[in-house]
A and B are shown apart, each in its own frame.
Chain A
Amino acid sequence: MIRLITLGLPALLVAAALFWIRPRRNGQARPAHSGSTITMLLAWAVAIVGFHPGVQEAADSVTRDLAKLASNALMLIASVSVVSWLMFLNHEQVEARRRLRPRLAFLGVAVAVMTAAFFSVPADRRWSSEFTNTHWGQAPVLLHVYTLAYVLVMGHATYDCLTQTWRRSSQSPWRVHRAGLRGAAIGCFFVLLYLAYKVVNAGASIAGVELFPGGPRCTTLVTPYRCAFSFTAPLLGVLLITAGLTVPALLWPAAKMLRRRWERKTAQDLLPLWTDVTAVRPQVILRAVVVETDPDVVLHRRVVEVCDGILDLDNHRSRAIERMATEAVERRGQAGTATGAAIVEAAVVAAAIEAARTDAREQDDPAPQATGESARAGDLRAEALWLRSVSQQYANNDIVRTAVAVQRQAAPTATAA
C-alpha cells in the first residue's frame, strides 16, 4: 500500500506538471505562474518518492536515519516551492524573486542546521536507536533543534498557503475554482496537523510521556496510530492540495464547452421573439456582424436587437393588454413569479408587435417595460435568461395568444384614427 502510494502520487504529480507544460493552442502564452506551478508539482513528487520504503532503506543503509534527513529536507524544499508559487501569483516576477530570496536563504540555513545537527548526533543516539526510542526525554538536544528548524520552515510555508488559498477561495468568480482552492486550503490544514503532531510529540517526549508509541515504520495508513499524523495527514494534505490545484484546471475545458452550448441554445431559444420583433423593426439588426460565428457574439447581438426592438415598440405597449395578462396570470396563481412576469411582458410585447404590424394607433399612455431588475444583474447572462423566458412564453403561452387576438380586434389603425 505504502509503496503504491509513494509511487502513484508522484506519478500523478508529474502528470499534472506535464499538463501545465503542454503547448498552448493558437500560440497562446502560458500563464506567468506556470513555471512556479511546475516546480511545485515536481518538488512534491520528489518529496513523496523520498517516503518510498525502497528509497528509505537505501538511505538508511548509508547511515542510521539518513532517510529521515533526506525526506525532511525534500519536504522543506517542496513546501518552499509552495511559497514560491504563492509569490509568483501575488507579485510581478521581479518582485516575486526579490521576496523569495530571503525565504530560500532561510530554507538553506534550516537544511544546513538540520544536516549539522543530524551528523553531530552519534548514530546510536538518533531517532531509531534503541536508546533514544526508550529514553526520548534524554535524547540529544540537537535532535530537538533539528525538529524546530524543520517545523519553522514548513509551518510558515503551510500557514501562508492555507490563509491565501482560503481567502482567495471566496474571491474567485468561478465555483469550480472556489472549490479547488478550498480543497487546497483543507490540504494545508492536514499538513499543519502533521506539524502540530511533530511539536506535540517532541514536547511530550521531553516530558517523558509517550503519546505516540510504535515502531519506526508504518504498517498501514493508521497503524501504529502515530502514522495517522506522521504519514497519512501530510499525504492527505498533499493529495488535497494537488487535487485542489489541478482538478479545476482539468474541468475548465468542460466548463467552457458547456458555456458555449448554453450560449448557442439560448440564442436559439430567443429566435421566436427576435424573428417577430425584427420583422416589424428591421432597422435594429446590425448586419455588419452577420458573419460572426462565436456563440456569445450571436447571443449578444440577438439580445441587444430584441432590447432595441422592444424599446422601439414602446409606444405600442398597451396598458389594457398588460392588465388583462396580469389578471390571467393571477388567476393561474403565477402572480409574483418570474414566469408570471415573463408571461405579462410577452403578452404586452406580442400585442405591440401586432399593433406595429397592423399600423395601429400608438398608445397615449404606453405601459412601462417589465424591467425584471431583480433577475437582471446587467450582464449578458442575466439579460439573456430573462429574454429567453419571455421568448418561451411568447411562443407557447395561450395568454399571449389571447393578447394578440384582443389587440387584433380592438385597435384602430393609425391611418383610420
Chain B
Amino acid sequence: MHAACENRLSDLLPLLPHRFSEEELVQAVSTLIGRPIYVEARDMRGNFACGLRERYSDREVISFEIHTSPLHRSQIICHELAHILCGHKGSISYADIPSDEELADMIDWSVLGISARTSYEEQDEQEAELMASLIVQRMYRATVMPAQRPAAADERWNAMFT
C-alpha cells in the first residue's frame, strides 16, 4: 500500500513546486484528474465525519471540519484529495447517510459516491489516510529541507548549502 501511494505521489509531485500550499495541491490534483475540485469549510461537529469527499460526474467536492487546528484541517483536506487520487468510488451513497444527520442536507442527491473520514478500518480509508500523511509529510519536509533537485532559482538558493 505504501509503495502504491508513493507511486501516485510521484505522478503528482512534478506538478508542484518544492514548497507548496493547500491551494496549489488542490489545483494540481484537479489538473491531474481533469475535473474541478471545490473545497468547503463546514461546521461538522456532531456529525459522523470530520471530512467528506463527494464525487459527482463533473466535479469533486471536499468538506472539512472548520473547528479544528490548521494542521488538522490540512490533514483532512489531503485525506479527501487522496481518495480522489486513488480513484476511490466512495464507500457510502446518499441513501446511507442517516436522515437526521445535518450532512444529509448539505449533500446533493446526484452524488455518485461519498467518502467520509471517520476511522481507518476500511482499506480505502487506510489508503487515503496513509497517502494524506505522505503528502503532509512532504509539505513539512519542504519547510525544513531544501529541494533535492532544485528547479526554480529560489529552490537553488535554498539548496546551495546542502
- Residues of chain A touching chain B, judged by Cβ–Cβ distance below 8 Å, are 28-29, 31-33, 37, 88-91, 168, 171-174, 176-177, 180, 245, 248-249, 252, 256, 259, 283-289, 296-297, 300-301, 303-304, 307-308, 311-312, 314-315, 366, 368-369, 371-373, 376-383, 386
Is there contact, CB below 8 Å, between A368 and B67? yes
Chain B residues 54-105 with CB under 8 Å of chain A are: 65, 67-75
Smallest beta-carbon distance A229→chain B, Å: 30
| One of A168, A286, A314, A366 near B129 (C-beta < 8 A) | A286
B31 CB contacts on chain A under 8 angstroms: none
Is the interface on chain B under 10, 10 to 19, 20 to 34, or 35 or more residues? 35 or more
Is there contact, CB below 8 Å, between A307 and B69? yes
Tell whether B162 is near chain A: CB-to-CB under 8 Å: yes
B75 CB contacts on chain A under 8 angstroms: 304, 307
Assembled-state Cα–Cα distance A285/B145 (Å): 27
- Given the known interface contacts A286-B120, A371-B69, the answer about A248 and B136 at a Cβ–Cβ threshold of 8 Å is no
Stretch of B9-17, B32-40, B107-115, B150-158 contacting A (4+ beta carbons < 8 Å): B150-158
Assembled-state Cα–Cα distance A232/B104 (Å): 77
| One of B70, B143, B150 near A31 (C-beta < 8 A) | B150
6 contacts between A and B (CB under 8 A): A168-B157, A171-B154, A283-B118, A300-B140, A311-B65, A381-B140
A373 CB contacts on chain B under 8 angstroms: 70
Tell whether B8 is near chain A: CB-to-CB under 8 Å: no
A245 CB contacts on chain B under 8 angstroms: 160-161
With CB as the reference atom, state the residue of chain A lying closest to B159: A31
A300 CB contacts on chain B under 8 angstroms: 133, 136-137, 140
Assembled-state Cα–Cα distance A301/B126 (Å): 13
Is there contact, CB below 8 Å, between B158 and A172? yes
- Residues of chain B touching chain A, judged by Cβ–Cβ distance below 8 Å, are 1-2, 45-46, 50, 65, 67-75, 118-121, 126, 129-130, 133, 136-137, 139-141, 143-145, 148-150, 153-154, 156-162
Smallest beta-carbon distance A314→chain B, Å: 5
B129 CB contacts on chain A under 8 angstroms: 286, 288
Is there contact, CB below 8 Å, between B67 and A31? no
Assembled-state Cα–Cα distance A168/B137 (Å): 26
A91 CB contacts on chain B under 8 angstroms: 153
- Given the known interface contacts A28-B148, A283-B118, A304-B133, the answer about A288 and B161 at a Cβ–Cβ threshold of 8 Å is no
B contact face: mostly helix, strand, loop, or mixed: helix
Is there contact, CB below 8 Å, between B143 and A252? no
Smallest beta-carbon distance A247→chain B, Å: 9
| One of A249, A286, A289, A296 near B141 (C-beta < 8 A) | A296
B133 CB contacts on chain A under 8 angstroms: 286, 289, 297, 300-301, 304
Is there contact, CB below 8 Å, between A288 and B121? no
A28 CB contacts on chain B under 8 angstroms: 148
Assembled-state Cα–Cα distance A380/B130 (Å): 16
With CB as the reference atom, state the residue of chain B lying closest to A259: B144
Assembled-state Cα–Cα distance A177/B70 (Å): 28
With CB as the reference atom, state the residue of chain B lying closest to A380: B140
Assembled-state Cα–Cα distance A296/B140 (Å): 9
With CB as the reference atom, state the residue of chain A lying closest to B140: A380
B121 CB contacts on chain A under 8 angstroms: 283
Assembled-state Cα–Cα distance A366/B43 (Å): 14
B118 CB contacts on chain A under 8 angstroms: 283
Assembled-state Cα–Cα distance A382/B144 (Å): 13
* 8 closest A-B pairs by CB: A378-B70, A283-B119, A383-B71, A307-B72, A248-B161, A249-B161, A380-B140, A90-B153
Is there contact, CB below 8 Å, between B119 and A284? yes
Assembled-state Cα–Cα distance A90/B160 (Å): 11
Assembled-state Cα–Cα distance A296/B144 (Å): 11
| One of A32, A173, A297, A301 near B156 (C-beta < 8 A) | A32
A301 CB contacts on chain B under 8 angstroms: 133
Is there contact, CB below 8 Å, between B157 and A307? no
| One of B46, B67, B143, B157 near A369 (C-beta < 8 A) | B67
Smallest beta-carbon distance A305→chain B, Å: 10
Is there contact, CB below 8 Å, between A32 and B150? yes
Assembled-state Cα–Cα distance A314/B50 (Å): 11
B154 CB contacts on chain A under 8 angstroms: 171
| One of A252, A296, A381 near B162 (C-beta < 8 A) | A252
- Given the known interface contacts A286-B129, A304-B133, the answer about A379 and B157 at a Cβ–Cβ threshold of 8 Å is no
Assembled-state Cα–Cα distance A283/B129 (Å): 12
A33 CB contacts on chain B under 8 angstroms: 156, 160
A377 CB contacts on chain B under 8 angstroms: 70
Most buried by B among A91, A256, A259, A307: A307
Assembled-state Cα–Cα distance A300/B141 (Å): 11
